[in-house]
Every structure is written in structure tokens, then in C-alpha cells.
């Protein structure tokens, strides 16, 4: 298929034909990597959260409980598969598939390492290298939203519908901030291809050069994957299980798989775009020159992805869930405007640099520090402003039938002194223990 050949990307169609079996090996390797990472991430999350809560966590199945996720998967597969009577059958079955397929597809453009030789063929450790790879990841991720929305709708039930609505609003809002955080990287690297962005980070990682973009990306990647503290679409206290309330057995397992693969994907994207991709961390190359050659870079890549996954788990173990309006305010009023301002600065600096050859690095570093400070400052009015509005000032009037039920006075409220026929009969408004 020479149609897909693109001249500025080597090794894909145009210059060296890759044998079909090599493509198949790469595709299967990515599939296996993602499934194993999912099984591992579930176990790791349970162990780490348990440690944070002074528990032990799963430790029975296999060494350190490592096979627990596998056992859970087998158990899920053996459960009864229930399709609700009110459901739209076709869409109900389609939704988990739509959810999980894009999750796998997005990984096709992530570079695991530099060129290596496999059975005599020189090839990069990457399934395909599109010139618009990052755009492809965004597009594929946006298709994944359908899985959740349709799952919520087709269940024919209220809570899943509400969960689906929340998730679609949430993912669309945070996709904007996520896309804007990428633009800084595009401007700086001059390319949307993942391999070239990694190649541009040999010296400095974009997490340092473009620190505000990185902060915005980290926040929006947590929002995009529906993880705590932004897990509003499946808030147990409000929506039972959210969009997957009516799902059981393997269909539920597919949603679970999709969530964890998405976590791995956004972590891999953070690694590729901001943390230097498969390049060895600073200083390693000074005493080990071969750290960036051959198969070794896979180790650095996987290590960085695991660190990003740990941050996900850490957040879940630490932070309480946000309220929906707080979450939306953070997305629209803080992340998007600040990333627009930051982009203006980056573009200006790049243009000025191209004209006058100034030290753009210094300008970016100071400007970035300033914007991080502004970002942090925006949290202060939020903290100050929401507190008083939540608790009414002074002693609010006690409504004995608030919400349609008789309720006792809350702390800080007192019973009103009754005036009228009954009050004139008794001294006290209600019978007390002395009366009996």
C-alpha cells in the first residue's frame, strides 16, 4: 500500500519495505505489553493504595499476590452476562468494543526505542510513524468517548445515563486543555511526529523547557482518563457505578481494560512528549555511553511510564473527589486561559528567536516559572471564596420540615420560640424530660 507512504518518515512504506511479519510481531508485542501492563497496574494500584492506608493488599495469589488481577479476570469471564430488558441491544454490545479498540489503537505511534535490528532488519521500535502522530492519538482518544456515552445511554437506566453525560462533558472540556498543552511542544519541536519530538529532546526534556504545558497536561490527563480526583462519571456515592452500572461479566471487564490502557497511553504520551521519550535520564549517559543504543532504551521508557502510573495511584490515594462545578471551573477558567497565554509567550519567543537569535531558553524558563506561580495563585481565591458560601453565615433559620421531612435542628441552629395558642398553654414549646 504505497498510498500511505509519507516521504519524510523513514521506514514506513516509502524507503525500506518492512516485511509483513515484522509489522505483525510489533502489533502483537504492543497488544501483549498493554494487557500485561493493565494486569500489573491493577495489582500495583491495589498494593500501593493499601500501603498508603496501612493495609497489606492482595497477597495470596502468586508471589506478592501478582496473579490477583489474572484470577479476577478469570472470575469476571465466568460471571453471567446480563443484558437489561430496556437496553438498546446492539449499541449495548457495541459500546464496550468502541471503548476498548481506540485504547489499543492509540499506542501504535508511541516510540519504545531507537532503531534496532530484528532478524537482520533495521527497524525502529514503533509500529508506525505518522507525520501527524500526536493528532492521531487525540483523534483516536476522542472516538473512545463514544464507548462511555453510548454505554450510559443504551443501558436504558437513569444513573448510567447521567454518568455518560458527565463523562462526555468532562472529556470534551479536558481534551481542549490537553490539545493546547501539546501545541507548545509542536511549536518547539517543529513537528507532530512522535519520533521527531523524542529526537528533539536529546538535550533538554520539554517537561523543563515547557513546564506550564507539562503541568496543564498532567492535570488534563487525569481528567481525560476519568481517574480520581476527577472520577465524577463513576462517582459511587452519587451515581452507583456510573456509565457501567448495568454491565456485567466480560463487557464490564472490557471497560476496566479500556480505563487502564488509557492510563498507560496517557502516561506513555507524557513520557514521549515531555519526559524525553526513550532517552536515558540525565547523567546516565555520562558514565554509560551505550545507554541510548540498542534495546536498553525500552527500560528507560517503561520506567518513566511506571513513574507516571505511580502518580495516578498516588493521586487516587491522596485526594478527595472534586465537585462537578469545581471541576468544570478548573478546566474552563484556569487551564484553558492560562495555556492560551502560555502559548502566546512560546510563539512570541520562537518568532523573536528566529528573527534575532536570542537566548530563548532563558526567556522560556523565567516566563514558565511566572505562569506556574500564577496558576498556583489562582487556587487561593478558590480556596477562600468557596468556604463561606458553603456554610451559611450566622444562625440560619431552622426549617422543621426541610426537604419534606421533619428534621432536628443542625448544630448552630436553635428551636424557635413558638408564639400562638399552643405556646400560651405550655411554658415550653415542646415536651421535655421534666414533663414526663
Q: Residues in the site for another protein, rule: CB under 8 A?
A: 1-7, 86-88, 91, 130-132, 135-136, 138-143, 145-146, 149-150, 152-154, 156, 161, 164-165, 168-169, 172, 175, 192
Nearer to another protein, 214 or 243 (CB): 243
| C-alpha 337: how far from chain center | 20
Nearer to another protein, 9 or 330 (CB): 9
CB of 273 to another protein, least distance (A): 17
User: Which cell is 178 given?
Assistant: 490537553
CA–CA–CA angle 12, 13, 17 (5° rounding) = 95
CB of 161 to another protein, least distance (A): 6
Q: How far apart are CA 173 and CA 220, in angstroms?
A: 9
CB of 260 to another protein, least distance (A): 21
* Alpha-carbon torsion, ordered 387, 392, 395, 401, to 10 deg: -140
CB of 164 to another protein, least distance (A): 7
Residue 215, C-beta contacts closer than 8 angstroms, at least 6 positions apart:
372, 375
CB of 249 to another protein, least distance (A): 21
Nearer to another protein, 149 or 210 (CB): 149
Residue 388, C-beta contacts closer than 8 angstroms, at least 6 positions apart:
none
Nearer to another protein, 332 or 398 (CB): 332
Among all chains, which residue has been given the C-alpha cell 510513524? 129
CA–CA–CA angle 288, 289, 293 (5° rounding) = 110
Tell me the angle at which helices 89-105 and 20-52 cross, rounded to the nearest 10 degrees.
Answer: 100
Nearer to another protein, 7 or 404 (CB): 7
CB atoms within 10 A of CB 335: 26
Nearer to another protein, 73 or 96 (CB): 96
- Verify cis geometry, omega within 30 degrees of 0, for the bond prior to 208: no
Residue 115's beta-bridge partner residues? Answer: 124
Q: How far apart are CA 251 and CA 233, in angstroms?
A: 18
CB of 422 to another protein, least distance (A): 42
Nearer to another protein, 9 or 48 (CB): 9
Q: Is 131 exposed, middle or buried (0-12, 13-18, 19+ CB in 10 A)?
A: middle
Nearer to another protein, 93 or 169 (CB): 169
Nearer to another protein, 145 or 263 (CB): 145
CB of 326 to another protein, least distance (A): 20
CB of 116 to another protein, least distance (A): 26
Q: Is 137 exposed, middle or buried (0-12, 13-18, 19+ CB in 10 A)?
A: buried
CB of 3 to another protein, least distance (A): 5
Q: How far apart are CA 303 and CA 307, in angstroms?
A: 6
Amino acid at each position: 500500500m504505497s498510498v500511505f507512504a509519507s516521504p519524510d518518515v523513514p521506514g514506513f512504506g516509502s524507503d525500506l519495505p518492512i516485511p509483513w511479519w515484522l509489522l505483525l510481531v510489533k502489533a502483537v508485542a504492543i497488544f501483549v505489553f498493554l494487557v500485561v501492563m493493565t494486569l500489573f497496574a491493577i495489582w500495583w494500584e491495589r498494593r500501593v493504595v493499601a500501603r498508603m492506608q496501612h493495609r497489606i493488599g492482595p497477597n495470596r495469589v502468586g508471589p506478592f499476590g501478582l496473579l490477583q488481577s489474572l484470577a479476577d479476570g478469570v472470575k469476571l469471564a465466568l460471571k453471567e452476562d446480563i443484558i437489561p430488558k430496556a437496553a438498546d441491544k446492539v449499541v449495548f454490545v457495541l459500546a464496550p468494543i468502541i471503548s476498548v479498540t481506540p485504547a489499543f489503537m492509540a499506542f501504535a505511534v508511541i516510540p519504545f526505542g531507537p532503531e534496532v535490528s530484528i532478524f537482520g532488519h533495521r527497524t525502529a521500535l514503533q509500529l508506525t510513524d505518522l507525520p501527524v502522530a500526536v493528532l492521531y492519538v487525540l483523534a483516536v482518544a476522542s472516538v473512545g468517548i463514544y464507548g462511555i456515552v453510548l454505554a450510559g445511554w443504551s443501558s436504558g437506566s437513569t444513573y448510567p445515563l447521567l454518568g455518560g453525560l458527565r463523562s462526555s462533558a468532562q472529556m470534551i472540556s479536558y481534551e481542549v486543555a490537553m490539545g493546547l498543552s501539546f501545541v507548545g511542544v509542536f511549536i518547539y519541536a517543529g513537528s507532530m511526529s512522535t519520533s521527531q519530538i523524542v529526537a528533539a529532546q536529546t538535550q533538554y526534556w520539554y517537561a523543563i523547557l515547557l513546564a506550564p504545558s507539562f503541568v496543564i497536561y498532567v492535570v488534563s490527563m487525569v481528567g481525560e482518563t476519568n481517574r480520581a480526583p476527577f472520577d465524577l462519571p463513576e462517582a459511587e456515592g452519587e451515581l452507583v457505578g456510573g456509565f457501567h452500572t448495568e454491565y456485567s461479566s466480560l463487557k464490564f471487564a472490557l471497560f476496566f481494560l479500556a480505563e487502564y490502557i488509557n492510563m498507560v497511553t496517557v502516561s506513555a504520551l507524557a513520557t514521549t512528549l515531555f519526559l524525553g521519550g526513550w532517552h536515558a535520564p540525565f547523567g546516565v549517559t555520562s558514565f554509560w555511553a551505550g545507554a541510548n543504543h540498542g534495546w536498553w532504551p525500552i527500560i528507560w521508557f517503561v520506567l518513566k511510564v511506571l513513574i507516571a502510573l505511580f502518580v495516578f495511584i498516588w493521586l487516587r490515594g491522596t485526594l478527595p473527589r472534586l465537585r462537578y462545578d469545581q471541576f468544570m471551573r478548573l478546566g474552563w477558567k484556569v487551564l484553558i486561559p492560562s495555556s492560551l497565554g502560555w502559548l502566546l509567550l512560546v510563539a512570541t519567543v520562537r518568532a523573536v528567536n528566529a528573527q534575532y537569535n536570542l537566548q530563548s531558553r532563558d526567556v522560556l524558563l523565567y516566563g514558565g516559572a511566572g505562569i506556574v506561580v500564577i496558576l498556583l495563585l489562582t487556587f487561593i481565591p478558590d480556596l477562600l471564596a468557596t468556604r463561606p458560601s458553603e456554610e451559611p453565615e450566622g444562625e440560619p433559620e431552622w426549617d422543621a420540615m426541610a426537604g419534606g421531612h421533619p428534621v432536628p435542628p443542625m448544630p448552630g441552629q436553635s428551636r424557635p420560640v413558638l408564639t400562638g395558642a399552643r405556646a400560651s398553654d405550655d411554658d415550653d414549646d415542646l415536651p421535655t424530660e421534666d414533663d414526663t
